[in-house]
Amino acid sequence: MNPPELLALRSTAAVRARCHTVLDHVVAGNSPHFTVHEPALAEVADYVTDVTRRAYPTLDIPYHSRWRHFDVAGLDRWATLAPRLEGLDDAARARTMIDLAVVSVLLDAGAGDVWRFHEAETGVSIGRSEGLAVASFRMFEAGGFSSDPAQPLRADAAALIALDADKLGQFFQVSVDNPLVGVPGRAALLNRLGEALAARPDLFGTDPARPGGLLDALLPQAKIGRLRAALILEALLDGLSPIWPSGLQVEGVALGDVGRHPAVAVPDLSNHLVPFHKLSQWLTYSLLEPFEAAGLAVTELDELTALPEYRNGGLLVDLGLIVPREAIDPAQKHDVTSEMVVEWRALTVALMDRLAGPVRERLGFDASEFPLAKMLQGGTWTAGRQIASERRPPAGPPPISIDADGTVF
């Protein structure tokens, strides 16, 4: 039986509590890596508010999710599939959306500075996360994740298990002149996803096992049509824990995106452990709209945390809220498991909680109207990319560079 203190790390409550413990440690002056310049919080709030107002003049701000990337270059790509989804009920459409979101998010590791996807349908050439989104969308549209040619618009275990790097590279237009970082690793991650789907019929169904089966698994937990967002995350952490190649393991329990930091001192097996679950939370944010499309109200969104990745974290460094004790060369890569990076990520989660209030006040929203899911979109992720481009043109790398395998960032 898995130790309960380790299983408890698969929760946003644990993410938030332990990240705030690290923040307290740094504010107390105990860190050799960073200090926190608390007066800069107001400057960050001003910057994020300005970015948000320019991006969304009407303040009609959607959730931060993979669905925003599918709309790049002004095209609602999901809407273009509508004729092929006619006759399906809301639940069937939602399962299709879940399938697409899951494979696309898992392919959303850093693309590198060179790779671009040329979209024949629009003639645009797109890089970075948006390019990966469009490439995965077009692969999904073509049936690249389905084992049944008669039902191309799905992702199923058999197709994912059989997927190889060559096929993925073809769909993503990879060549000597258009290199994409980590194609074999991306394919292997989807292989493990297929195996995880097949191993958990209670979560992902049978005939076929597919990510969209998660809808049916969670429907019984929806009380009067309402489902807590954290329940989606907990199901993902339960069902997908075996897919991460480098996730921390303790006592044989696969913990996933969890780091170690001395500020967290507890007298059990979870001593020094700080959970983040960044990619799983990004996936959860990206599943809010599919679950809502099924007719559910997804509630308590702020149980989820901000995403501890380099755009959010870089924003806080670039604007002087998180201050390195020594100058950091943005070209030098740091291991994602290092104490410094774990601390940076924990500070990002905790300080984003503190940032939310001032940003809401400036925009005239309360927490129910403007959850973290909207602040990230409005918001901090775009602001992080913008300030990085201003400080380190033209590519705008983050102020701290991470050597990671794509399952964290």
Q: Tell me: the pLDDT tens digits for 46-102? A: 999 999 999 999 999 999 999 999 999 999 999 999 999 999 999 999 999 999 999
d(CA 22, CA 40): 19
| pTM of structure | 0.93
DSSP code of residue 150: T
Q: Which residue has the tokens 């075996």?
A: 242
Task: Please check whether residue 53 lies inside any domain of the structure.
Answer: yes
Q: According to the model, what pLDDT value does residue 405 have?
A: 61
Tell which residue, 70, 191, 210, 199, has the closest CA to residue 152.
210
Q: In whole angstroms, how far apart are CA 105 and each of 63, 125, 134?
A: 15, 20, 11
Task: Please check whether residue 408 lies inside any domain of the structure.
Answer: no
Q: Which residue has the tokens 């390019």?
A: 131
Structure tokens at 65: 């999710």
Q: According to the model, what pLDDT value does residue 406 have?
A: 59
Task: Please check whether residue 195 lies inside any domain of the structure.
Answer: yes
Number of folded domains that form the chain: 1
List the domain range (segments joined by +) for residue 335.
4-403
| Secondary structure class of 175 (helix, strand, coil) | coil
Q: Quick one: what percent of the chain has pLDDT higher than 70?
A: 98
Contacts (Cβ under 8 Å, ≥6 apart) of 394: none
By the 8 A CB rule, do 395 and 113 touch?
yes
pLDDT band at 408 (very low <50, low <70, confident <90, very high): low
d(CA 274, CA 130): 30
Residue 247, pLDDT > 80, answer no
Task: Please check whether residue 409 lies inside any domain of the structure.
Answer: no
Which phi and psi angles does 334 have, rounded to 5°? -115, 140
Per-residue pLDDT reduced to its tens digit, 137-174: 999 999 999 999 999 999 999 999 999 999 999 999 99
Task: Please check whether residue 242 lies inside any domain of the structure.
Answer: yes
N residues, the chain:
409
Contacts (Cβ under 8 Å, ≥6 apart) of 368: none
DSSP code of residue 376: I
What angle separates helix 229-240 from helix 183-199, to the nearest 10 degrees?
100
